């Protein structure tokens, strides 16, 4: 296989671009670096496309390696034929390769291998050929051998039948045809095992659905129910049609021994073929469902990490609790801890007045601008307390409930202990909750991304694959934003292109020993950070307020000379980057012609455009262009809601069947996929992202189950809405 050509066609890019991407990946270049600083080599593909390209490259290389291994193994058995070789060359998937290799694969002892050891393989071949004019009994007489425990014709024929049954089971074409038939016609059937503890799986009590239509989230739910020993799962197939498919491949026209072979076909189907293909089918369904769930996690994680920071604000974080009270921490504009305390406004203590005094004192002392409340235990009571308190404050203070998933993981982690060795676990949690509002990206990357809680069934996923994908998302986000070289934690730095945990710690250690970095090239003095790592990381690291303003942009050091040529061409210097003259640059370049300007500077047009974008907004944060966090000053409860109300909310999680939206009550509401928009969509992610602010209409309230049904498409539409369970 010409892998580069295959990838070129699959991703619809030029062949030389495909070869360039392969070369860059093989050289150890990271996806963010390739996407950002080597655009001329791949036609400006984005990081997602390059990452998908890299995944597919790995698959095809594994495929080729496995094909070569199979060719070698069959050749070593001296069983390779031109037909087998042609089939291997035509195979497009690993499954097809394994089907071809199946007859030659060393087997554990089976009924067929035992029969072969008794010398019955020739008898099986005679019968399978279906041409010998003799009767079966007469043919089988020649194979009676008491020493090998073939005592009569019946035992000889039984052994031959076992061999033929395995031949049928190993036939690649038969397996392919049956696999396709099962995929298109089989039904997934589940029954609920008795017992009150299984109520969460009641949906699947008498459930049946074609496997071709069953959605991924349902596959994962069924798998979990089976694993929990709550569900009995079966796959129903049309046996008559399956037998017909096998017979059409095995029986020849006017062939002999039809009755015998029909019995063998049935035995092969029931004992070998069907169990194997059902296992394979369920594995395939699970793999597809897992990949979809991983993709869903990826889709949710990126906008969550890229939520705009709340810059230049003093924030008070509250980690809610009942028995031990609510932990409080105040951080300054740079995330440094100013103070911490404990309040107990929630049951069983209900110390409202004392808690108000503590918070009011902290707000006045540190000029707190916003309060960040974790959404875990006692969140609702804490939110009500904060909402009532800020109405009494002389200073304007707003609040936001943030997702605290993973905060406890961080608090007890080695990273948390290293960062705040003098604080206990609970105080670290409050600090993390405050920082999540201040800079979600910088804080969330400190914990295992699987603990962030914006997917579904993440703990049931193949963990290695999940980690690879999510690490890729984190890498793309961190590098897209860039980090301040003089303030970033090592946990943030380790996600920068070309760096790892060891080098990131060395950067922080160098900073402590030598003071702030004055210029990017000073990185080369850091232990174990060589020229190759420097090339990969330099463009993503920022140094504000230093002599070389280009060090605070996304312009790569390798393009500094080209940037100076560009500025000089139009009578400018680096000093003009900070004044209004620089805003004329796009117009001047347009008048002269992009191609000629790029050629004169010794760079490509994509790099030229990137340089200009950085010069126009030095030190810019791409997250600043996104909608700001939705801060609140009041709280509602589910009892305050009425069907038909239109409210503003924030998308918290996008899943296969809809999206959960925070509308300012303790319980998020669900927008079902059918209520997202008027047009047909395959998935809610086509319209919604985590962090997006949307207007929703309440269409259903169930107080008993604490459920809120929402609609986006019905906002602005006058209609009579059917109310279900609005009252207890």
Instruction: Give mean pLDDT, residues 701-725.
Output: 78
Neighbours of 593 (CB within 10 A): 11
Task: Give yes or no for residue 634 having a pLDDT over 90.
Answer: no
Q: How far apart are CA 4 and CA 24, in angstroms?
A: 13
Question: How many Cα atoms occupy the beta-carbon half-sphere of 367 within 13 Å?
Answer: 4
253 pLDDT above the threshold of 50: yes
Cα-based distances in Å from 681 to 298, 302, 477, 612, 671? 19, 21, 27, 38, 14
Give CA–CA dist 480/483, Å, rounded.
Answer: 9
- In terms of pTM, does the model score above 0.85? no
- In degrees and rounded to multiples of 5, residue 60 shows phi and psi of -65, -35
What residues pair up with 669 in beta bridges, in sequence order?
A: 661
pLDDT at 455: 63
Q: Quick one: pLDDT band at residue 456, thresholds 50, 70, 90?
A: low
Domains of the chain are 3-75 (1.10.10.650), 315-471 (3.30.420.140), 510-625 (1.10.150.310), 638-711 (2.40.50.140)
Rounded CA gap, 487 and 566, in Å?
Answer: 31
CA atoms of 543 and 541, how far apart (whole Å) = 7
- pLDDT given for residue 197 in this prediction: 60
Instruction: Name the most confidently modeled range: 160-169, 303-312, 580-589, 698-707.
Output: 160-169
- For the chain, the distance separating the N- and C-terminal CA atoms, rounded to the nearest angstrom, is 66
pLDDT band at 555 (very low <50, low <70, confident <90, very high): very high
Under the banding of pLDDT at 50, 70 and 90, the label for residue 499 is very high
**CA 90 and chain centroid, separation:** 32
Cβ-proximal residues to 387 (8 Å cutoff; 6+ apart), any chain: 399, 632, 633, 634, 635
Strand, coil or helix: 699? strand
Q: Where residue 667 falls among pLDDT bands split at 50, 70, 90?
A: confident
Question: Is it the case that residue 449 has pLDDT exceeding 90?
Answer: no
Interval 232-249: pLDDT, tens: 999 999 999 999 999 999
326-331 β-sheet, strand order: 337-343, 326-331, 315-319, 370-374, 398-402
If you average pLDDT over each of 330-334, 405-409, 642-646, which comes out highest?
330-334
Confidence of residue 726 (pLDDT cuts 50, 70, 90): very low
Contact 659, 428 (CB under 8 A): no
pLDDT value of position 514:
96
Mean pLDDT score of the chain: 91
Question: Rounded to the nearest 10 degrees, what angle do helices 274-305 and 172-185 cross at?
Answer: 60
Confidence band of 158 (pLDDT split at 50, 70, 90): very high
User: CB atoms < 10 A from the CB of 360, how many?
Assistant: 18
Q: How confident is the model at residue 691 (pLDDT cuts 50, 70, 90)?
A: confident
């Amino acid at each position: 296989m010409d892998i580069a050509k295959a990838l070129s066609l699959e991703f619809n890019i030029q062949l030389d671009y495909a070869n360039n991407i392969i070369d860059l990946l093989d050289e150890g270049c990271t996806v963010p670096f390739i996407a950002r600083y080597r655009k001329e080599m791949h036609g400006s593909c984005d990081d997602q496309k390059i990452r998908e390209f890299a995944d597919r490259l790995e698959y095809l290389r594994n495929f080729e390696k496995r094909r070569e291994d199979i060719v070698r193994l069959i050749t070593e058995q001296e069983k390779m034929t031109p037909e087998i070789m042609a089939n291997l060359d035509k195979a497009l998937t690993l499954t097809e390769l394994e089907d071809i290799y199946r007859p030659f694969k060393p087997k554990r002892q089976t009924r067929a291998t035992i029969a072969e050891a008794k010398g019955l393989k020739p008898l099986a071949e005679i019968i399978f050929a279906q041409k010998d004019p003799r009767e079966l009994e007469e043919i089988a007489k020649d194979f009676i051998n008491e020493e090998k425990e073939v005592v009569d014709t019946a035992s000889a024929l039984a052994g031959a039948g076992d061999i033929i049954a395995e031949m049928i089971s190993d036939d690649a074409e038969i397996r392919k045809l049956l696999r396709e038939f099962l995929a298109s016609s089989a039904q997934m059937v589940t029954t609920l095992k008795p017992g009150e503890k299984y109520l969460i799986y009641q949906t699947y009590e008498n459930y049946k659905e074609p496997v071709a239509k069953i959605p991924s989230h349902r596959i994962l739910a069924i798998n979990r129910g089976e694993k929990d020993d709550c569900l009995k799962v079966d796959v129903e197939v049309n046996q008559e049609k399956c037998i017909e498919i096998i017979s059409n491949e095995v029986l020849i026209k006017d062939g002999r021994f039809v009755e015998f072979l029909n019995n063998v076909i049935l035995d092969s189907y029931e004992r070998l073929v069907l169990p194997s293909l059902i296992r394979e089918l369920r594995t395939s369904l699970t793999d597809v469902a897992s990949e979809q769930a991983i993709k869903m996690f990826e889709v949710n994680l990126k906008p969550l990490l890229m939520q705009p920071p709340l810059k230049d604000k003093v924030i008070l974080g509250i980690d809610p609790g009942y028995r031990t009270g609510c932990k409080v921490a105040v951080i300054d504009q740079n995330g440094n801890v100013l103070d911490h305390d404990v309040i107990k406004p929630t049951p069983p203590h209900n110390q409202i007045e004392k808690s108000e005094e503590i918070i009011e004192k902290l707000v006045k002392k540190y000029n707190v601008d916003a309060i960040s409340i974790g959404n875990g235990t006692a969140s609702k009571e804490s939110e009500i307390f904060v909402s009532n308190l800020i109405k009494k404050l002389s200073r304007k203070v707003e609040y936001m409930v943030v997702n605290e998933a993973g905060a406890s993981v961080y608090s007890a982690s080695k990273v948390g202990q290293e960062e705040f060795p003098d604080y206990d676990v609970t105080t670290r949690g409050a600090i993390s909750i405050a920082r999540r509002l201040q800079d979600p990206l910088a804080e969330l990357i400190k914990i295992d991304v699987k603990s962030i809680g914006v997917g579904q069934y993440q703990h049931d996923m193949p963990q290695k694959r999940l980690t690879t994908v999510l690490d890729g998302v984190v890498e793309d986000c961190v590098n897209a934003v860039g980090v301040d070289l003089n303030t970033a934690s090592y946990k943030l730095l380790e996600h920068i292109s070309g760096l790892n945990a060891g080098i990131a710690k060395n950067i922080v250690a160098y900073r402590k020993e030598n003071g702030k970095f004055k210029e990017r090239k000073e990185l080369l003095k850091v232990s174990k950070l060589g020229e190759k790592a420097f090339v990969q990381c330099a463009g993503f690291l920022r140094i504000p307020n230093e002599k070389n303003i280009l060090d605070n942009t996304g312009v790569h050091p390798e393009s500094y000379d080209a940037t100076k040529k560009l500025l000089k061409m139009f009578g400018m210097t680096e000093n003009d980057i900070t004044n209004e003259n620089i805003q004329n640059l796009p117009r001047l370049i347009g008048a002269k012609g992009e191609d000629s300007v790029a050629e004169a500077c010794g760079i490509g047009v994509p790099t030229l455009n990137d340089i200009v974008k950085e010069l126009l907004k030095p030190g810019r944060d791409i997250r600043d262009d996104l909608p700001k966090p939705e801060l609140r000053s009041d709280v509602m409860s589910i009892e305050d809601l009425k069907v038909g109300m239109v409210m503003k909310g924030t998308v918290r999680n996008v899943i296969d069947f809809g999206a959960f939206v925070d509308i300012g009550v303790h319980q998020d509401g669900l927008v079902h996929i059918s209520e997202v928009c008027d047009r047909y969509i395959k998935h809610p992610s086509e319209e919604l992202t985590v962090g997006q602010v949307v207007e929703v209409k309440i269409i259903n309230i169930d107080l008993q189950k604490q459920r809120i049904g929402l609609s986006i498409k019905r906002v602005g539409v006058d209609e009579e809405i059917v109310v279900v369970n609005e009252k207890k």
